Structure 1
Amino acid sequence: MHNITSPIAHHHGLDHRERLENMLADLLRLMAEQRGGSRSRVDVAAETLAGPGDSHAQSITQRDLDFCIGERETARLIELEAALKRLNEGTYGVCTVCGGPIMEARLDAMPETAHCMACQVDAEALNSATVKPSEPGRARPSTGTGRQSAVLGR
C-alpha cells in the first residue's frame, strides 16, 4: 500500500464524500427493498409480457436475474465502502495499483474508482484475456499468437 496523501482527498473530499455516502445509502435502500420482496419494474414487466404457461420459465429467469443483480450490487457496495475508507485514510484519488493520481474528471464520473485510467485499461485487458473459453459470447483467451508470441519468442 502506498503512503501517498492525495490532494483530492483534502481539496474535494467533502464533495466526493457526500456523493459516495448518497450512492451507498441509495444502494443499501435498493438492496433492502429487493430483500423485502417489493415488486420491481422487472417483475411488473415480466408479468405484463407473460403468456399462458410462462410462469415456471419466468420464475427461473427471475431467480437468475435476482442472483446477478445481487452479485453486482454486492460488488458495488464493496467498492463504495472502500472509496470511503480511502477518503478517511487520505489516499482517495491515488491509484491503488501504481500509486499515481486519478484524474479529477474520472473521480467525478466514477467516485468509487480505485484505479487511474491506465491501470483500469490494463486490468480490463487482462480480464478479457483470461475469460474461460467455455463462457458463451465471451472472448477466448490469447492463444499466444500475435504481438505477445513475438515478444515471448513463440
Structure 2
Amino acid sequence: MIESLFPNGIAHYLVGGLFIGLGVATLFALTGRQGGASTFFSACWSWLIKTPFFQQGAFLGSRNWRLVYSIGFVLGGLLYLALGLPQAASQMPAWKLAVGGLLIGYGGRLGGGCTSGHGICGMASLNLGSISVVLTFMATGFATALLLKAMGWGV
C-alpha cells in the first residue's frame, strides 16, 4: 500500500521534512517568530508596493530577515535542481496554475496566513486558531477536489 502512494520512496520526503523542521526551529530559536511563506513574501513586497497593507509595521520592521528566509526558499529549489534529484513535470495547464495561485494567495490573506505558517509552525505550537484554519483549508480542499472530480474536471 505504501509503495503505491509513494512510488519514488519516502526518503526524500523525510529529509525534506527534517530540513523544514530544522529551519522553522532555528528561526523560532533565533527570532522568537514563526515562519510562513505568505508573511515572508508580503514583507518582501513591502519594498516595491506602497499600499497600506504592505506598509504595515509588522512587515517593515522585519523585512530584512524575512528576505533572507525567502531567499532560502529559492536557494533550496536551486540546490534540488543542482543535485539532480527527481523531478516530475506538471501536466496542468498554465492558466489553471495561475488561477490556483491567485486563489491560494487570496485564501492565505483571508485566513491570516498560509498553510505553511499555520500547518507547520502554528500547529506545532498547538495554536488553536492555526489548527482550525488548517482543518478549514483541508476540508475545503477535499470538498473542492471531490466536486471537481464529480464534474469530470479532476486530474
Same-fold status (TM-score > 0.5): no
Give the TM-score normalised by structure 1: 0.28
Select the structure that is richer in helix. Answer: 2
Q: Which of the pair has more CA radius of gyration? A: 1
